[in-house]
A and B are shown apart, each in its own frame.
Chain A
Amino acid sequence: QHGRVKLKSTAQQEEEKRKEREKKLKIYVAGRDAIFTKRLEGVLDDEALQLTQQLLSSNPDFATLWNYRREILLHLETKMYEAELLFLESCLKVNPKSYGSWHHRGWVSARLPRPDWARELGLCDRCLSLDDRNFHCWDYRRMVVKMSGVPVDQELQFTDRLIGSNFSNYSSWHYRSTLLPLLHPESPDPPSPCHQHSHSSPPPSPQTHSHRVCEEQLLKEYELVQNAFFTDPNDQSAWFYYRWLLGRAEREEMISCVFVSREEERVAVAFSRPVNASSSGLMLVLDGQPQRVEWRSVHPHFRHSPVWPHLIVLPPSFTGRSESWCRDSATDQELFRSELSVEKTSVLQSELQSCNQLLELEPQNKWCLLTIVLLMRALDPLGYERETLSHFQTLKEVDSMRSAYYGDLCSKFMIENTILKMEYAEVRVFSLSDKNLTMLCHLDQLLLVTHINLSCNQLLRLPPQFAMLQCLEVLEADDNAIENLDGLYYLPKLQEVSLKNNQISKLSDLQLLTSCPKLTCLDLRGNPVTQIANIQSELTELLPSVTDLLI
């Protein structure tokens, strides 16, 4: 039950109400019992229709009664169904949000020899004019459109009308997101005219990626959305839709890095997406010889992971470097954002200008601020780094409820920038120190890193994904708030770990370090755990190979 206000009333009013309800209850129960009796006896008559009609008028969620009516209707000629449609219309007027009513109407309509889909569409139009967020009605409409072959561009124009006349538009923008890829699909060949999809072909599943819309239409869409949020900068739906337009293609599934260590007799493979290597048929071929492989995930937590290490046996005649790798370029535009055409770049630049103008008028508008950040990321993530950081600071102030979200999103962007810059420097030493990081991500990009510096941030833990750093030898993570070391799991080359001034408080927090065979140096100074009695001897017992222990 929703939206039932509690009202105070006098004792007399209470008594009157009670009598009223008692009467209503008696009538209701009598009706219900009569219906159940008839049903048990297998009766399918007009009286049953009358009785169920009475109850369903005030309680359309009583699903069993719709079932009973269907059983009766199955025994009647379909010309009787018109009365059913009229009855349903009255039900929907009273309660336009009952799953049972809408489903029943769909069932009745579909069973008609000549369903009047135009009438059904008209019903939807009327219902949506009263409440254009009624998802029951939208779903019914989608069914009617599908069954009757309403052209996609007609439906697109319908959304145009709704969006143009009303602010509560999320449902319309959502519908657009499903229609555009149908009407203006991205063609695989270079400039070909966008043509209308035949409505008889099965619609592709709703896309989460705007790259499935051809660029010409996409750029028009930017204009449409901009009009919306300039008319009303607080209309959320336009901003959500805009973020979708700025989104990027999902990366193709492929191998992004292969690392081989002769010394360790190990191979590690990194993919562009999480995969299940054990079931995907990933084959390892050494000098032309296929190997029997049982790929294991970097952490028991993951059946699907971007990184898969494996131990191999190299033939004794194998000579050459002690280790070797092959890796995609980190500045490959497609790593964190889509490649932009000249046209799209120009449009996005003018969008950025417009949004900046809007920001001058509405300096506290968090939607505008966030959108500017997203535009800058799309255009030039490294070039706009300073402005990005400044906007995130403002976002945390004007939308403080979501400051943790902004902290994480900013961290992600700073990590991306550091990875992009990695191409120009050493690929094996990686510093993220003093970047206000609240979380870690893109760890699958760091398979080759031997030295990592995470000091002076706000990290709470090293997540399980940290186990993807299969080449890591030295970890510096001082001055954070780390209390969990889940990710220090079977890191085969890890020798030195510095965790000064963190929040490690129990001996059990350090248990996983026993899985790192080469660990010899551990600095735990400034952690609550060092205050435990006998901690020195406890740690020596837990980690006997750590000869250089600082507490």
Chain B
Amino acid sequence: GTQVKDVVIKSDAPSALLLDKHADYIAAYGSKKDDYEYTLSEYLRMSGIYWGLTVMDLMGQLTRMNQQEISDFIKSCQHDCGGISASIGHDPHVLYTLSAVQILSLYDNVNVLDVDKMVEYVRGLQQEDGSFAGDKWGEIDTRFSFCAVATLALLGRLDAINMDKAVEFVLSCMNFDGGFGCRPGSESHAGQIYCCTGFLSIAGQLHQVNADLLGWWLCERQLPSGGLNGRPEKLPDVCYSWWVLASLKIIGRIHWIDKSKLRSFILACQDEETGGFADRPGDMVDPFHTLFGVAGLSLLGEGQIKDVNPVLCMPEDVLERLGLHPDLLS
């Protein structure tokens, strides 16, 4: 029969939380401007900054980052159409529009941007069937539905779109297993499920989710190593500690996974030498997996980390300040 795809955690894998090392890793990351990988990832720089800042804030270390430099950078990424690009010279996209708003929300400084134009940009991305394109070139994906409503929720402007149609489209992406995919007919995937449950939370429509069925599919992501995969027969990855765990939290079923085994897996993904988290034990670290490892630990109740909001992946205290309390199922 088929072997279960999984990793084996070595006995000498890290088992203590090395928060200081992670803070040092992130603080130094931005200065590596002549690094090959760093340059190649310029196309997602805005999201990269969001990952770095958010994890620093969760660790109480946000002040180590350069707010002025980042604010200026974001301002220079807003285009005439109102949308925000990942970096200077790149084209605007809803993914980076959300990341920019998330960053500026951490700093309580959204008004450095032209908010009205940004809202118009997002509104203009909604299609007749309720779906959202990522940009003017028309790629449709439920990720973009999430980005759109999350952006507008942070700006207090959810009235700008046709919410009923938007909900109708997302629900049309619900599958036989209770999960969600990119577009109608697409296979369920933990990342898309996070986006869709997050969307439905913001839209106040979580009762449309089959929480018992989806919760089962999600808790079956946990492998013998304790780690979580993104869909059946795939390897575990620390970023799924976020996508899967946050989804479970949103639908009120987080207790269906084995928390202590997951915690051990996440800790094993740390790099004791360099700081940061990798996708699985022994691999190369990056800010993306560092955020989701730390955020996952926060959802598991790690005392040393601030509470993270499962819908927006931002510190709860930031959302408290904004008066944002997206629904969660109990």
Contacts and interface: CB of A to CB of B under 8 A. Distances in A.
Nearest to B216: A405
Contact of A139 (B40, B174, B186): B186
Contacts of B184: 203, 205-206
Contacts of A138: 186-187
Interface stretch (B9-17, B57-65, B103-111, B255-263): B255-263
B219 A402 contact: yes
A208 B210 contact: yes
Contacts of B141: 99
Contact of B330 (A170, A274, A301): A301
A174 B176 contact: yes
B98 to A, nearest CB: 15
A408 B256 contact: yes
B222 A4 contact: no
B174 to A, nearest CB: 6
B198 interface: no
Contacts of A531: none
A234 B1 contact: yes
Q: Tell which of A63, A175, A178, A244 has the most Cβ of chain B within 10 Å.
A: A63
B21 interface: no
Given A107-B137, A234-B2, A405-B219, A2 B282 contact: no
A25 B43 contact: no
A383 to B, nearest CB: 23
Q: Which of A241, A402, A486 has the most CB of B within 10 A?
A: A402
A84 interface: no
Contacts of B138: 107
A40 B261 CA distance: 52
B153 interface: no
B137 A401 contact: no
Q: Which of B185, B188, B189 has the most CB of A within 10 A?
A: B185
B323 interface: no
Contacts of A384: none
Interface residues of B, number: 73
Contacts, number: 177
Which of A40, A61, A208, A304 has the most B CB atoms < 10 Å from its CB? Answer: A208
Given A64-B91, A234-B1, A25 B36 contact: yes
Nearest to A178: B185
Interface string B148-177: 000000000000000000000001111111
Nearest to B93: A63
Of A170, A232, A235, which is in contact with the most chain B CB atoms at under 10 Å from its CB?
Answer: A170
B299 to A, nearest CB: 16
A107 B255 CA distance: 44
Contact of B176 (A24, A139, A203, A206): A206
B220 interface: yes
Given A6-B283, A170-B232, A303-B204, A206 B330 contact: no
Q: How many A residues touch the partner, as a band?
A: 35 or more
B4 interface: yes
Contacts of A5: 282-284
Interface in B176-225: 176-178, 181-189, 204-205, 207, 210, 212-213, 215-217, 219-220, 222, 224
A401 B175 contact: no
A64 B282 contact: no
B307 interface: no
B258 A401 contact: yes
Contacts of B89: 36, 39-40, 64
A170 B231 CA distance: 9
Contact of B36 (A28, A142, A167, A304): A28
Given A62-B43, A232-B2, A402-B256, A171 B90 contact: no
Contacts of B330: 301, 463-465, 486
A142 B185 contact: yes
B80 interface: no
A103 B137 contact: yes
Nearest to B261: A401
Contacts of B66: none
B187 A171 contact: yes
A70 interface: yes
B137 A67 contact: yes
Given A139-B182, A240-B177, A404-B255, A63 B283 contact: no
Contacts of A29: 39
A408 B187 CA distance: 27
A412 interface: yes
A389 B261 CA distance: 26
B233 A236 contact: yes
- By CB atoms of chain A within 10 A, which of B34, B233, B271 has the most? B233
Contacts of A400: 258
A170 B233 contact: yes
25 contacts: A1-B37, A6-B283, A6-B284, A25-B34, A61-B43, A61-B44, A67-B137, A99-B141, A103-B137, A135-B182, A135-B186, A138-B187, A139-B183, A170-B187, A174-B175, A175-B185, A205-B171, A206-B173, A206-B175, A206-B176, A208-B174, A232-B1, A234-B1, A402-B219, A402-B257
Given A4-B278, A138-B187, 11 more contacts: A28-B36, A39-B89, A63-B90, A64-B43, A174-B175, A175-B187, A203-B185, A206-B176, A402-B219, A402-B256, A464-B330
Interface of B: 1-2, 4, 34-37, 39-40, 42-44, 85, 89-91, 93, 135, 137-139, 141, 171-178, 181-189, 204-205, 207, 210, 212-213, 215-217, 219-220, 222, 224, 226, 231-234, 237, 253, 255-258, 261, 271, 278-279, 282-284, 286, 288, 330
- 4 A-B pairs with the lowest CB-CB distances in the bound complex, closest first: A205-B172, A177-B176, A401-B258, A4-B284
